[in-house]
Structure 1
Amino acid sequence: MTSQETLNKEDEERGPEQADTLQPGLKNRHLSMIAIGGVIGAGLFIGSGSGIAAAGPAILISYALVGTMVVLVMRMLGEMAAANPASGSFSEYADRALGRWAGFSIGWLYWFFWVVVLAVEATAGAVILESWVPAVPQWAWALIVMVVLTATNLASVGSYGEFEFWFAGIKVVAIGAFVAIGLLAVFGLLPGSDNPGAGLAHLTDSGGFFPEGYGAVLTGVLMVVFSFMGSEIVTLAAGESSDPQRAVSKATNSVIWRIAVFYLGSIFVVLTLLPWNDKSITEDGSYIAALNSIGIPHAGQIMNVVVLTAVLSCLNSGLYTASRMAFSLGRRGDAPAPFARTDRRGVPRAAILSSVLFGFVAVFFNYKWPDTVFAFLLNSSGAVALFVWLVICCTQLRMRGIILREAPERLVVRMWLFPGLTWATIGMISFILVYMLFDDTAREQVLLSLLVAAIVIVIACWRERSRKASRKTSRTG
């Protein structure tokens, strides 16, 4: 008997109230804010300055290209998730459409990506908190934020949703206010603004719109693509809501304006308030530099609060996402059976604790061996976002036919111009991966990520072969 069959049998014996299932504890407002805030990662606040320095105003095209790709991927994922909401989302769909090896591989790679992110975000938050309260060492702050958010996730899915509602709310309000205030300043409508040079002319007055050449757009793509990771979280969370189909449909339909406002809108504001080559953009950060340019007092501290909120939001969602993927893998027999256990509140405690344990280990590596062991973890998980999006595209090509054959009425969200746009998206993602191989700064990242992916796929194929051999032996015996 497989671990999946064992779990199902024990669920029947325990009864529906005690079965190992996730509970619908997320409200519509939780999912709405998770969907909105999911596309606003800490990378937008921290990494945008480097992208602007590398490509100039043309970074807007880089953000638009990646944003379009993410919109298309989310549309594909939304089609599958609305038809069949699942805690493992794309991993479960890949399992069915492409084979057990695909679901196993992308599920574990995605889990690996998020447990490394836990260490990155915990450290980033600790740096900010230590600057405010230097009496507490950085490692202690990292421990504190990890423990607090672990407790939140262990309490109930509702407590996760409530924390994320407020974290995401602060990010949304902050970005919205930044765009509104910035546009007023750009068009000379902000009272008291002391940046008379602000305006659309900044898009071309310092070497033109492509000051670093047309190829810089692709360099910019590599620098900004990973700041979009997280938009798919809402499809995992939808499985714990009372109306998952409606939640997924709403989230995928709104992803266009979210990316347009939060990414393109905010970067446009920065580029019109300051020349792209202003040193303060890289020294202070793009958002702080923009706020300082129009005389907003305490801009640095304001943005530190917003960045800390974004970090905590990413940490909170990262722990949730990793644990739900581990739970899904456990339910399918691709992870230790305890991962598939839930308590009476529907919380997968073993999956959460195991995920945070690896997060703690990664934090330790970051402090002990930042340039060797942790650098390897960081680089070997760096391209996983692109792998996930590529698998989503390939899965959707197969899942459309499965849905139409089994339950066509569930196809309430449809990918546009199928299959043409699906193949075009596969081409875009593949091009980025190949281009990374020729980029000096990205080559190591993609090669190490491919190495780890290859190892996981080999393990997946070996497991599947062993499983088939075991079934064959049991039948003949």
Structure 2
Amino acid sequence: MTESEKRLRSLKHGLTSRQVSMISIAGIIGAGLFIGSSNAIAKAGPAILISYALTGLLVLLVMRMLGEMAIAEPNSGSFSTYAGRAIGPWAGFTIGWLYWWFWVLIIPVEAIAGADILHTWIPAVPSWLFAFLIMLVLSCTNLISVKNFGAFEYWFALVKVIAILAFIAVCVLGVSGYWPLAEVSGVGHLASNGGFMPNGFGAVLGGVLVTIFSFFGAEIVTIAADETANPKAKIRQATNLVVLRIALFYLLSIFFIVSLVAWNDPRLTEVGSFQRTLEILNVPGAKLMVDIVVLVAVTSCMNSGLYTASRMLYSLGSRGEAHPSTRRVSGNGVPTVAVLLSTLAGFVGCFINYAAPGKVFGFLLSTTGAIALLVYLVIAVSQLRMRGILEREGHVFELKMWLFPWLTWLVIGMISAVLGYMLLSDSYRYETLLTAGVAGAMLLVGLWRNKASGHLYAATDGNQPAR
């Protein structure tokens, strides 16, 4: 096989139907739910439920828009490809590279979090060694075949789902007074300690900014579905399951937490919301159980992050927006160069963190502060324009955005308002400006490339270069 033939090999349908189904169900369950939710609760009190509901509604609408486009044209580049076609090549280039930048910085964050847990169990092994070992193992599994990613992610997702269902079952018994070890019962904490909204509605809006990053990752299924035998069906299923996932995993879990734990409990932010709830219910081994689940969650997030970053880089290469080598696909259907480069970026992030703790890597991580919102904004604008393009081509839609274009415009307005609030807020201005700086730099490169090449964007299936 010639070198050019190797480069033109496409991704394979290596993910099974049940793997993609489980990824779609548990894709939004990360460490942010198990640990990060405590900071959101401390900020807004029990009214954090409103924050999660508002954020969930936004994600639901965004996923519906993305689902409409992804079912029409399944593609490993997902929203980046749609942005390139609907808005312009500069948009696809910019948002694709921003998304890759986000995940290659999140990969070392998750590896470091998992390493810290393992280090507490085995203090003799330094944390940095655990971090590098975690990254090495998962990068190797991603390099061998997409089946390995699917197998690992399936079991990671299953553990997370079982853990949350068990947590909810225990909390139901606790709230109803049937949990024998509990010291408290009922939902009294929903209105005590200053009421349901102790810090005002402004804190609820601030809670939206904290919670929105917990949901980021729901869009991964539109990327993974392209490597399964029936991508349209999987994307449709994932889109329809968004409401169930948000209601069950987030709203119900948080409801029980704020019912059983005082929002101003000092240990809430010290040990995390799930652990503190289990402590109050006197569940034996609460810390160990939560540590195990969090370890699985961060490892799962890193596994998904490496997969997603590599597929986005591969898609950029397929469209001529990254080095041609990133298009190289192995006989097993793995974009090897894209995986290796994404892994290398993660290793560099780990090295920087341990070499200069709290300095350079913290600065780099701050540049991702508003990327999730920018991705959602681009999805909304793309869908607004893509509908007309597909209708002119005579496309018959299998899934449509509700109340188009009014809800799409509402989402665009909501996201723009949140970005404006972040820019004006002392708490979020720094991260917003850094994100804007990185996005602006990538945008300038994209505009320069577009002008230099002088070509219009060519819609592709994600596996061939733009012509």
Which among 253, 264, 274 is matched to residue 287 of structure 1? 274
Partner deviation per Cα, 1:28-77 (whole Å, 9 max, x = no partner)? 11111111111111111111111111110011101111111001000100
Matched AA of 2:44: A
Which residues of 2 match residues 10-409 of structure 1 at below 5 A? 10-11=4-5, 19-190=8-179, 192-195=180-183, 197-409=184-396
Matched AA of 2:95: I
- Comparing 432-441 with 108-117, greater Cα deviation is found at 432-441
Please give the secondary structure, in 1, of the residue aligned with 2:80.
helix
- 1:19: how far off? 4.2
Please give the secondary structure, in 1, of the residue aligned with 2:241.
helix
Q: Give, in whole Å, the separation in 2 of the partners of 1:388 and 1:457.
A: 14
Percent of aligned pairs sharing the same letter? 53
Please give the secondary structure, in 2, of the residue aligned with 1:408.
coil
- Matched-pair contact (CA < 8 Å) for 1:164–1:316: yes
- Matched-pair contact (CA < 8 Å) for 1:198–1:274: no
Q: Give, in whole Å, the separation in 1 of the partners of 2:316 and 2:8.
A: 17
- Matched-pair contact (CA < 8 Å) for 1:126–1:141: yes
Q: Give, in whole Å, the separation in 1 of the partners of 2:172 and 2:413.
A: 36
Matched AA of 2:363: F
Matched AA of 2:368: S
Matched AA of 2:27: G
- 1:185: how far off? 1.0
- 1:371: how far off? 3.0
- Matched-pair contact (CA < 8 Å) for 1:113–1:382: no
- 1:282: how far off? 1.4
Which among 406, 429, 434 is matched to residue 420 of structure 1? 406
Q: Give, in whole Å, the separation in 2 of the partners of 1:335 and 1:271.
A: 47
Q: Give, in whole Å, the separation in 2 of the partners of 1:182 and 1:313.
A: 25
- 1:370: how far off? 3.1
- Matched-pair contact (CA < 8 Å) for 2:325–2:337: yes
- 1:469: how far off? 8.3
Ranges of 4+ aligned residues in structure 1 off by more than 4 Å: none
1:464 maps to 450
Distance 1:469 1:90, change over 3 A: closer
Q: Give, in whole Å, the separation in 2 of the partners of 1:356 and 1:135.
A: 26
Matched AA of 2:305: G
Please give the secondary structure, in 1, of the residue aligned with 2:289.
helix
Q: Give, in whole Å, the separation in 1 of the partners of 2:40 and 2:185.
A: 20
Q: Give, in whole Å, the separation in 2 of the partners of 1:243 and 1:213.
A: 47
Q: Give, in whole Å, the separation in 2 of the partners of 1:286 and 1:204.
A: 18
Matched AA of 2:154: F
Q: Give, in whole Å, the separation in 2 of the partners of 1:439 and 1:48.
A: 21
Q: Give, in whole Å, the separation in 2 of the partners of 1:455 and 1:96.
A: 21
- 1:20: how far off? 1.5
Matched AA of 2:234: A
- Matched-pair contact (CA < 8 Å) for 1:41–1:230: no
Q: Give, in whole Å, the separation in 1 of the partners of 2:34 and 2:405.
A: 35
Partner deviation per Cα, 1:100-136 (whole Å, 9 max, x = no partner)? 0000000000000000001100100110010111111
- 1:315: how far off? 0.3
1:451 maps to 437
- Matched-pair contact (CA < 8 Å) for 1:326–1:351: yes
- Matched-pair contact (CA < 8 Å) for 2:8–2:327: no
1:440 maps to 426
Q: Give, in whole Å, the separation in 2 of the partners of 1:180 and 1:414.
A: 36
Q: Give, in whole Å, the separation in 2 of the partners of 1:429 and 1:469.
A: 31
Unaligned stretches of 5+ residues in structure 1: 1-6, 471-477
Q: Give, in whole Å, the separation in 2 of the partners of 1:440 and 1:370.
A: 24
- 1:198: how far off? 2.3
Matched AA of 1:358: A
- Matched-pair contact (CA < 8 Å) for 2:216–2:372: yes
- 1:27: how far off? 0.7
- Comparing 296-305 with 371-380, greater Cα deviation is found at 371-380
Matched AA of 1:193: L
- Matched-pair contact (CA < 8 Å) for 2:422–2:432: yes
- 1:284: how far off? 1.7
